[in-house]
């Protein structure tokens, strides 16, 4: 990917990008790319993408075990349904 340096960026734009980056737990570059792509209509799916990094590693071992236990039934195959 190429790189562009923006000089004399309006302070309101910088503040907006920084605020969005903090809200989304994303880098300034990610947010700037999203905003630019949306502004010029390059990627209509950009709003559908989710950044879930802030959720990674937040469960305790007990919470993770409880989740796995609650989902175990979805791994079982009902042989009668496949006849």
Q: Is residue 17 part of a domain?
A: yes
The answer to whether 38 and 47 are in contact (CB under 8 A) is: yes
Number of neighbouring beta carbons within 10 Å of residue 17: 18
Q: Is residue 6 part of a domain?
A: no
Q: Is residue 68 part of a domain?
A: yes
Can you tell me which residue has the tokens 């796995």? 68
pLDDT band at residue 49 under the 50/70/90 scheme: low
Q: Which domain holds residue 41?
A: 11-77
Q: Is residue 1 part of a domain?
A: no
pLDDT score recorded for residue 70: 94
Q: Which of 7, 27, 2 is nearest to 17 (CA)?
A: 27
Length of the chain equals 83
Predicted TM-score (pTM) of the model is 0.51
Q: Is residue 2 part of a domain?
A: no
Q: How far is CA 40 from the centre of its chain?
A: 21
């Amino acid at each position: 990917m190429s790189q562009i340096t923006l000089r004399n960026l309006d302070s309101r734009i910088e503040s907006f990008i920084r605020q969005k980056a903090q809200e989304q737990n994303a880098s300034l570059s990610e947010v700037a790319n999203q905003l630019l792509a949306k502004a010029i209509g390059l990627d209509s799916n950009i709003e559908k993408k989710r950044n879930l990094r802030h959720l990674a590693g937040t469960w305790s071992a007990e919470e993770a075990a409880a989740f796995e236990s609650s989902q175990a039934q979805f791994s079982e195959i009902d042989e009668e349904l496949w006849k």
